[in-house]
């Protein structure tokens, strides 16, 4: 979009982060805060194209997948370490006990 400037917005009900206006335009909102006084909501919003929306969603998906992958790697590494420590302990016990 030619004007991606963030503007302040006040709404009477809780807004969604993304609102589809038509097939080619979305409103993106951030910093959504509810007023304790009257229950209204304030936020910053801007119009974005459908392509920009897809790009944002794609990046979020990639970020989530990266976190999942890092978690899986950490769990695998931890399990491998425990297995190696167990094996080392088992080998030591065999030597001490004179077993095979």
Average pLDDT, integer, range 53-68: 87
Average pLDDT, integer, range 39-50: 96
Percent of the chain with pLDDT over 70: 85
Q: 1 versus 54: which is more confidently predicted?
A: 54
Average pLDDT of the chain, as a whole number: 86
Average pLDDT, integer, range 63-69: 81
| pTM flag (> 0.85) | no
Q: In angstroms, rounded to a whole number, what is the distance separating the alpha carbons of residues 78 and 82?
A: 6
Domain boundaries, the chain: 7-97
């Amino acid at each position: 979009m030619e004007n991606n400037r963030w503007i302040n917005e006040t709404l009477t009900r809780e807004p969604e982060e993304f609102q589809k206006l038509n097939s080619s335009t979305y409103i993106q909102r951030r910093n959504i805060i509810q007023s304790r006084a009257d229950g209204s909501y304030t936020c910053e919003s801007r119009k974005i194209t459908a392509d920009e929306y897809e790009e944002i969603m794609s990046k979020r998906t990639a970020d989530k997948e990266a976190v999942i992958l890092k978690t899986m790697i950490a769990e695998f590494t931890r399990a491998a370490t425990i297995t190696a420590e167990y094996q080392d302990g088992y080998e030591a016990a065999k030597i001490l006990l004179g077993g095979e």
